[in-house]
Structure 1
């Protein structure tokens, strides 16, 4: 007689229970690993994004005319960056036109020959300048809004001498105020190294060193700026020295970052310290909002 062996009901139930426990533990481990992967990927993405945005801002700030840098409130009021506090959410400045320098000879040399017979005010002799190249470059960068050959589309000439922030023509809101530091200039039609100051801008004093500018810049929080989820927008191609284009709302825009929770700036001596926090808006779906904060110093 052959005897048959089989699992008892109790043994089968125990096996099923044990397999269920193992499966439950395994799914929790898999879910935990997947969530950790999502968090790591999101953190890496946010770190890269935050660093890139800060670098974009810093690259533009490094060409700033330091005395022109201001902090502005959403209501349009402003003050010099050095005297601002955390209630000022917008940073704004004029940059010298680095792009129009890049030729041989340079688009503008940065030096005025005060002893040359052609420097007679409003004419300024600037030897070794290729002002036609500068004009073409500025026109291309501003969509034709700045052109050294057209009156009303002048670039700004700024002497390398100390100024107050108010001297650059910053207005409160939409108020048009032209500044004594930003002299509107065109080029001579026949001589490619003579700048001509607009007749109403001719100053009492002429200095040897100067820069040319074709644009101002503003970094503006937009959206729910009192909360922790707003966009950071770059405004460019506007000119405080031209009444019709002296407000950043009249220029071009580019979104630098979305889902920003913090943007702060302050000036320490000649340094600008930037702090930026960006979050993922809970894109991982784990219920937690992941945020990354970074700081950068601009000389």
Structure 2
């Protein structure tokens, strides 16, 4: 057999073998690696490269070597799950780099990081002043976890005791002008509803690049023509405005009548509508 044909055959065999072994090892092999996984991945790749190009070696030996290293990696991962000692040995421990707004220089030198590199890691988290940081840890995988001081953290609805509605994952029901029926069913919508909503926007299905339905059942679209403006969903704001108008009208009616029974009825219903508005505002606000 010619050598180039042998090389092609070996390439396909080891490509399939590496793909199969990587699937077994899991997503960690293509995401953040521990020191051991990094070394193992390099070694497996080197073995595959040598087995593909080193024609004097047999395919069986190359596959056996890859299988051994894959099994060792799986074994180490299993032991790390069962033992914190092994986990600390393989993955390492986090190192505190900033505490109470002060950089711990000894820990920074220990991890061989410069102040420029630390600043770059902080900027990736939109932090530009070390003094704003309460606590920062360099994780075993090389990422930086930082906690801002309380006065510098973003304000949340909970901080001001504001009730907000829960949101679910938007469903992409149109892709490249084609309806995605599975996503449409997950959103609890029909094709008829979708076509009606598109007609309201004066669009056809072919005009739409991406269409999504949010947790409120509203359709938002991105069309091929970037110069064309598509109106935002307005059903919820309009409903909220209508409820507020009804409540205001009831109060006006209560002030404009001389009949005490009618006045009491208007006031009572105005309060009921206001209570409804208070409950629905988190869901109807834009």
Give the shorter-chain TM-score range. under 0.3
Q: Which has the larger radius of gyration?
A: 2
Richer in helix (by share): 2
Higher relative contact order (CA 8 A, sep 6+): 1
TM-score normalised by the chain length of structure 1:
0.17
